């Protein structure tokens, strides 16, 4: 009896040691199964935290703007298919504020305009006098942000007709405001040539309906909700000012983030002709310390599920591999570069 008991205890101890060894071996091999390795010094790693989903927080824009809606669509559509991360969305003051939030590590992803990214990367214009921000990478360009100079005033048919008028030139310090300044300069004008007010485009649309302003700048995907509402409720034809090809060519030569864009007739109620203007690009970016495999999986999920994304927001209809690399104004995150290279986009 004693011999049998001793034998059973010995077998139990052997099994326990074997199980302990398997546990250690499993932990060690988990990293090699993921196919990546981590690096130090604040650079991007290729692994998500073991056994946990990484919390992605996307800085977007105001709750009435496209960025916020787009971020929420990404969360709704992609979270069920992502294995390495979980998307959350926060409303913000848009592009410039989003760069600051990335710098301060308050968020790890953001949607920003490619011109604002260029300014942050080079320490110019909007970020003049600041150290260039380099601790980030681009995932992809998503869609056009169209420069729309809109008015209900029938006397304003060309850009130079703005002289002497009350014009909203975008919120102070915003990307819209810098775009307005660049276009004014191209036409040999400054804000001193108008009575400038500094408002968001939604506030500008309300001010226009109330007769407080004559025209306003809006840099957003067309159609823009605020302009759709304005055109439908103002009881006056909405006009978006055409920029002549000569001025568009000059802007594109001076600022590499601009592209020529046409707003089709019918985009807004009462807009009965095509409008030629310039656009910048909305980009998805993230901090450099986001793991490479997290970004790679997110890129894969976005393009594999584009039809589902587009069914919830029209701007995802513009998402394409060709468009993903158009207008990208900062270096790619390694995870995005890997995906885009495999797809033949870069």
Q: Which residues pair with 280 in a beta bridge?
A: 145
CB 148 within 8 A of CB 224: yes
Q: How confident is the prediction for the chain on average, in pLDDT?
A: 86
* Higher pLDDT among residues 21 and 197, named by residue: 197
How far is residue 39's CA from residue 334's CA, in Å, rounded to a whole number? 12
pLDDT band at 64 (very low <50, low <70, confident <90, very high): confident
8-12, 86-90, 94-98, 188-192: least confidently modelled range: 8-12
Q: Which residues pair with 146 in a beta bridge?
A: 220, 279
Mean pLDDT calculated for residue range 232-250: 95
* Of the candidates 298, 285, 332, 305, the residue with the CA atom closest to the CA atom of residue 53: 298
H helices of 149-267, in order, are 175-186, 201-209, 225-233, 245-254
**Residue 77: band (very low, low, confident or very high) from pLDDT cuts 50, 70, 90:** very high
Q: What is the pLDDT of residue 291?
A: 98
pLDDT at position 5 is 39
What's the pLDDT at 95?
87
Q: What is the pTM of this model?
A: 0.73
User: Per-residue pLDDT for 282 more than 60?
Assistant: yes
The Cα 277–Cα 12 span in angstroms is 78
Q: According to the model, what pLDDT value does residue 271 have?
A: 93
Kindly state the percentage of the chain with pLDDT values over 90: 70
Catalogue all structural domains in the chain, each as residue range(s) with its CATH number.
54-142+283-342 (3.40.190.10), 146-281 (3.40.190.10)
The C-alpha atoms of residue 111 and residue 220 are separated, in whole angstroms, by: 13
Residue 223 to residue 267: CA distance in whole angstroms: 6
Length in residues, the chain? 346
State residue 98 phi and psi, 5-degree precision: -65, -40
**Residue-wise pLDDT tens digits, 46-59:** 345 566 899 999 99
pLDDT digits (tens, 9 = 90+) for 117-156: 999 999 998 898 999 999 999 999 999 999 999 999 999 9
User: Bigger pLDDT: 23 or 47?
Assistant: 47
**DSSP class of 266:** T
Let me know the angle formed at the C-alpha of 252 by 226 and 329, rounded to the nearest 5 degrees.
80
Which of 48-57, 77-86, 253-262 has the least mean pLDDT? Answer: 48-57
pLDDT of the residue at 220: 86
Residue/partner pairs of 121-125 with CB below 8 Å, 24 or more apart: 121/329, 121/330, 125/178
Quote the pLDDT of residue 50.
60
């Amino acid at each position: 009896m004693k011999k049998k008991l001793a034998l059973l205890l010995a077998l139990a101890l052997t099994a326990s040691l074997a199980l302990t060894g398997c546990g250690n071996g499993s932990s060690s091999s988990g990293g090699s199964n993921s196919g990546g390795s981590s690096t130090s010094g604040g650079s991007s790693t290729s692994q998500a935290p073991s056994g946990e989903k990484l919390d992605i927080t996307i800085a977007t824009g105001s709750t009435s703007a496209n960025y916020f809606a787009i971020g929420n669509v990404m969360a709704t559509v992609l979270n069920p298919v992502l294995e390495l991360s979980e998307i959350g969305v926060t409303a913000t003051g848009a592009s410039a504020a989003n760069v600051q939030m990335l710098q301060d590590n308050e968020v790890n992803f953001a949607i920003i305009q490619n011109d604002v990214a260029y300014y942050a990367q080079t320490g110019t214009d909007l970020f003049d006098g600041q150290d260039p921000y380099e601790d980030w990478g681009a995932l992809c360009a998503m869609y056009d942000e169209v420069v729309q100079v809109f008015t209900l005033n029938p006397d304003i048919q060309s850009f130079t007709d703005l002289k002497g008028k009350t014009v909203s030139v975008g919120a102070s310090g915003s990307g819209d405001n810098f775009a307005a300044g660049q276009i004014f300069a191209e036409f040999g004008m400054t804000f001193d040539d108008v009575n400038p007010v500094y408002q968001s485009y939604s506030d500008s649309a309300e001010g226009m309906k109330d007769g407080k302003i004559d025209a306003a700048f809006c840099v957003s995907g067309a159609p823009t909700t605020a302009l759709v509402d304005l055109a439908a409720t103002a009881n006056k034809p909405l006009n978006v000012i055409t920029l002549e090809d000569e001025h568009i060519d000059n802007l594109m030569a001076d600022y590499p983030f601009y592209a020529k864009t046409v707003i089709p007739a019918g985009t807004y109620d009462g807009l009965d002709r095509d409008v030629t203007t310039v656009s910048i690009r909305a980009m998805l970016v993230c901090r450099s310390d986001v793991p490479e495999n997290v970004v790679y999986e997110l890129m894969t999920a976005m393009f594999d599920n584009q039809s589902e994304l587009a069914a919830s927001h029209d701007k995802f209809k513009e998402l394409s591999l060709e468009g993903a690399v158009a207008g990208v104004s900062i270096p790619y995150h390694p995870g995005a570069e890997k995906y885009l290279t495999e797809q033949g986009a870069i």
